[in-house]
Amino acid sequence: MKKIIITLAGCVGIVLIVAAAVSAIILYSRSKEETEGGNNIAETGSTATNTSQNTASTITTSASLDSLAEDAIRKFFSLINDDKPNEAVLMMTSGLVGTDPVQSNSKMQAYAVTFDEWDSVQVLSIEEYDKENWMMHSRTYKVTVSLEFKDTPEYNLNWDEGENTRWIRLLLVEDEWQIDDIATGP
């Protein structure tokens, strides 16, 4: 009787491992299709279709995605201008601040301290950048802002008083645009 129970337990374990492997392969295939197989804005045009559920329902137009992405950039800098740097930092992805809790907390604090030293920041312009390589879930913009410091900053993460141009990459995470990268060049 013990041999039968052990044999059944072994079979159940193998079945679970195989099921997990198949699920992982399916999820990997779907994510690869979404990122490589036609979700590039230049390839698909102005609408996105939910292919993972084999439906023809339109998710949203790229124009509205673009508008929401630009709104996210404006909101990010508006939160900083309204003296809410901690809320602005929460708009950043784990790719920007890290996934390790200690590292993430440290980077988030560094950004919050930097943004807290700003007296004001105004978005002067937002321009689409490298649009032919945009994906449905990712956008890069060239953003020019004007900022003033409260005092001489102790820790400023490469920002200067006056006009600053940054390339900001956004990532669509759970239907919300988040700041995925802030760079001084493309």
Which tens digits make up the pLDDT trace of 54-105? Answer: 333 344 566 788 889 999 999 999 999 999 999 999 999 999 998 888 888 8
Is 56 a member of any domain? no
Predicted confidence band of residue 5 (pLDDT cuts 50, 70, 90): low
Of residues 161 and 9, more confidence is placed in: 161
16 plus 108 within the same structural domain: no
Structural domain count of the chain: 2
Contact 69, 173 (CB under 8 A): no
pLDDT digits (tens, 9 = 90+) for 67-77: 899 999 999 99
Q: Would residue 106 count as lying in a domain?
A: yes
In a domain, 50, yes or no: no
Q: 175 and 120 in one domain?
A: yes
* Residue 123 resides in a domain: yes
**66: CB partners within 8 A, 6+ apart:** 128, 139
Q: Is residue 43 part of a domain?
A: no
Q: Are 109 and 137 within 8 A, CB to CB?
A: no
Cβ pair 180, 166 in contact under 8 A: no
